A and B are shown apart, each in its own frame.
Chain A
Amino acid sequence: MQRKAGWLDKFVDDLPSQGWFQFLSRHLVVPYWIWRDPKPVLPGGPRPSVQPSESVQRMMNLIMPLKDPSPIGRARAALAISQNVDEIFAGLDNVGTVHNARFLLLDGNICMLSVYDGDFSNYIRDFIATIGSVFDAVMKEVEGGDAMVPTTEHIEEFIDWVCAHDLFQAPDIATDLFNLQDAAKGIAPGSLPHDLRLLPRELILQLHSNPNISLGGGYRAYPGYSAAQVRQKFGVGW
């Protein structure tokens, strides 16, 4: 026989929609758990994989905070892109592994979102070799960017910087978050039991450490081939 819901049940069920309880959760409960169970910042970009399809249509979600987020600073960042359109097109064509790239101004950030094939470091290296001047123009507008200009002379630092500013890609299988958090702490994935019911809390705490994330590794539409495969198939390669 099921216990009937009384007034206290209804009161508690309704708590998550109450403003005062939301306030309490945000300002007391969540900070308590952040203190109690801090999560390491998880690294950005796609995770290493040697499997061929994992190297196809990878995402870069580069979020670069502007030195000057005012409309003037944002306009300067916009100009850095619009004055280099030829360089960008020529660079993308020459890199040869990029499906598309775009730049966005979001709040106080300039963002570069791109889809590319192959290894991340090589992608950045190729980009610097072909459109280093564009990155130089952008980096002058970005916090901490001056130290890496010209990028052609600071390749390794620039790759590390991009890694740190590329969004963490949440696992495509939600429960894999446990393993990624364990791995970041040096614990072998799968070696510790985890209570499934705690997964939402793990996500909340992770979102404190990685406030901006990519939800999954991208939903690749059918058929999902690489730029090189498309070039070859259509006879427009070089």
Chain B
Amino acid sequence: MGEQHRNLARKLVTALQRKDGDRKRRPVHTFGTGASGHFIPSPVAAGFCDAEHFRSPTPATIRFSNGSGSAVRRDGWSDVRGMATRFHLSDNKATDLIGMTLPVFFTPDGESFLKFAIEARPRPCQRATPWQKFRDMLRLTPPVPDPYDGETISPDAGAIAFAHQHDYARAGVFQAATIGAPQSYARAAYHAVHSFVATGADGTQRWVRFSWQPVSGVLTTDPEKDPVIDDYLQAELARRLRNGPALFSLMMQVGEVGDDFNDPTRAWPPHRVRIMMGTLYVEKMLDDVTTEKLSFNPHLLTRGIAPSDDPVLWVRKSAYEVSSGRRRGTPCPFHGER
């Protein structure tokens, strides 16, 4: 299974590489902004998950990112954003939690993700003609948005065509197409998408999903206005942190019998019980060299949290390793594992 995942992961990383990307960087979530801080668990957290960072305060490194794999930073464009958090545990151990602003993934397994990555490869995009737009209006369909200034290729048309044929991709593609741009990395909610098995202090195991909620609230830019500045999120975060830490609450949603624990394309209903697991204090900016070399991995877990059988979670383990090797990042935590 390991070699099979690695083969698929290599194809995936290749398929995700955009022609306007930079092979020395990540193929997606290419531009990042690093920060450090610490996590303070809530008084009830350890009862639901016995992992070390839910028992005691833990230093953390955070990488916020734009989802695009383009080699040009476009903060103001509508795009999924990422938040990768490394909790630095005792004895030089660590555990990662990787979230994105999209609450679901596009496909339920690695093979279908490869198909999606190929079909949604950015292709040349043009402003729709007036006649196409007029026809769309008469069909009660919103016209395809005009490309941004400087946008020559886009994954949108391929992704929508894929979702047309594959109902599992609908929710992810629809939300990605309308997601917008945040006012700040500290004003977006990030979802870890996959299910994990959390073991509580009393040994009870629960299927759970994690989300970061910004304490200052979610706020996106006005989609009706042209994005003015391409690169503002890093400077905004630095400015914000000079005035005090940015806070995120870690919410843990508990699944129930009947939920699909292994399908990241389906959000669990919002009515599931949620537990407030703690607060992340993002305190200091980190330099780009340190952050961009970091190699996170959604499989880097610790005692108290185990992976589900979600096939995407498993293929991501290898994909992150392949990507880290190709861009010569700090070795992936699973580097050399066979």
Residues of A within 8 A of B (CB): 1-3, 5, 8-9, 11-13, 15-16, 21, 25, 29-30, 33, 50-54, 56-57, 172-176, 178, 190, 193-201, 204-205, 216-217, 219-220, 222-224
Contacts and interface: CB of A to CB of B under 8 A. Distances in A.
B105 to A, nearest CB: 14
Contact of A190 (B147, B163, B167): B167
Interface string B243-281: 000000001000011110000000101111111100000
B164 A219 contact: no
B133 interface: yes
Interface string B143-171: 00011010110000000100111010011
Contacts of B232: none
Contact of A224 (B126, B141, B164, B274): B274
B174 A222 contact: no
Contacts of B267: 172-173
B253 to A, nearest CB: 10
Contacts of B137: 12, 15-16, 21, 25, 29
Given A178-B167, A193-B165, A196-B174, 19 more contacts: A2-B149, A2-B151, A3-B126, A3-B127, A15-B134, A15-B137, A29-B137, A50-B258, A53-B256, A54-B269, A54-B271, A172-B270, A193-B167, A194-B164, A195-B164, A196-B163, A196-B164, A196-B177, A224-B273
Contacts of A21: 137
Interface in B174-208: 174, 177
Contacts, number: 109
Interface residues of B, number: 41
Interface of B: 126-127, 130, 133-134, 136-142, 146-147, 149, 151-152, 160, 163-165, 167, 170-171, 173-174, 177, 251, 256-259, 267, 269-276
B127 A5 contact: yes
Contact of B271 (A174, A175, A199, A224): A224
Contact of A178 (B127, B151, B170, B177): B170
Contacts of B269: 51, 53-54, 172, 217
B127 A196 contact: no
